[in-house]
Amino acid sequence: MPFRKVIGNIVGPSGRRLIWRVEAKFFARPYRQRLNGMRAIEVGGPTDLFGDAGSLPIYSCLRSIDNVNYSTHTLWQSEAVRFRETLVCEGAALPVNDAAYDCVFSSHSLEHLANPIKALLEWRRVICDCGLLLLVLPNRHFTFDWRRPVTSLDHLRDDFKHDTPETDLFHLDEILALHDLSRDPPAGTQEQFKERCLRNVEFRAMHHHVFDPETAAQLLREVGFSIVRQDVKEVDIITLASKS
């Protein structure tokens, strides 16, 4: 039996929660040090991941946090944090002045956008010189996308070149064929999942793109970011990047 599981059995549920919180704070320390006191905007939040009980607790180190969502009602509502302001708009078209924030962060959102390069260039625009981007993407090996191929950088360039809109369903056939519904209970049956995908512009639940750590780093460099650090924690590919 793994040592960690043995310890977990000894200390019980409350002890395991305490160990988890301590581990999360230790893991988050270098991120918190870089983000401390910054004015932030989150695209697609809030997320429990960044809350005090999450595996990357950073909300509490920020000076202020605004939020961006495509709608006032989403499938991922959370009570993780109260934002100073919530902007209702597309993630790739922010009604925000240039260099208005010190950092942008986004968790499990970029894969839902049809045109990631367009979005990242917009996020880069709204942060100051040497500002930071904290990007969390799903690691396909631990998600319902595990059967799907990683999206190539060339494909992402084509999406940008052709100004692919959020109504795009180019990946629909691949998703319906390869999405592992056994790892996605909220999606329902195959027919329910198909119906939700066809109405993706309303729900934004579909993963247009699939990433791994290498393509995540390549994509950020493509749009003018320098990688500060990258960690992979099972389902999460966590990349901190600086505006070049």
Q: CATH number, domain at 116?
A: 3.40.50.150
Tokens matching residue 75: 């499938």
The predicted pLDDT at position 77 comes to 63
The predicted pLDDT at position 209 comes to 98
Whose tokens are 């320098």? That residue is 226
Q: Domain for residue 182, yes or no?
A: no
Report how far residue 5's alpha carbon sits from residue 8's, in angstroms, rounded to the nearest whole number: 5
Q: Domain for residue 152, yes or no?
A: no
What is the 3-state secondary structure of 13-55? HHHHHHHHHHHHHHHHHHHHHHHCCCEEEEECCCCHHHCCCCC
Considering only CA atoms, give the Rg of the chain. 18
Q: Domain for residue 176, yes or no?
A: no
What is the 3-state secondary structure of 57-82? CCHHHCCEEEEEECCCCCCCCCCCCC
What residues in the chain have per-residue pLDDT under 70?
1-13, 15, 77-82
| pLDDT tens track for 15-35 | 677 787 889 999 999 999 999
Q: In this structure, are strands 236-243 and 225-233 parallel, antiparallel, or unpaired?
A: antiparallel
Report how far residue 60's alpha carbon sits from residue 40's, in angstroms, rounded to the nearest whole number: 11
| pLDDT tens track for 118-135 | 999 999 999 999 999 999
The predicted pLDDT at position 35 comes to 98
Size of the chain, expressed as the number of residues it contains = 244
Q: Domain for residue 161, yes or no?
A: no
Q: Using a cut of 0.85, tell me whether the model's pTM lies above it.
A: yes
Q: Is there a contact between 132 and 231 (Cβ–Cβ < 8 Å)?
A: no
Q: Domain for residue 206, yes or no?
A: no
Q: Is there a contact between 180 and 146 (Cβ–Cβ < 8 Å)?
A: yes
Report how far residue 223's alpha carbon sits from residue 240's, in angstroms, rounded to the nearest whole number: 14
Q: Is there a contact between 140 and 239 (Cβ–Cβ < 8 Å)?
A: no
The predicted pLDDT at position 96 comes to 96
Domain range for 50 is 3-139+211-243
The predicted pLDDT at position 73 comes to 78
Q: Domain for residue 174, yes or no?
A: no
Q: Domain for residue 239, yes or no?
A: yes
Residue (of 205, 241, 207) closest to 221 by Cα position: 241
The continuous run of DSSP H or E covering 118 comes out as: helix 116-125
Q: Domain for residue 162, yes or no?
A: no
Which one-letter DSSP state was computed for residue 137?
Answer: E
Report how far residue 238's alpha carbon sits from residue 118's, in angstroms, rounded to the nearest whole number: 20
Number of domains within the chain: 1
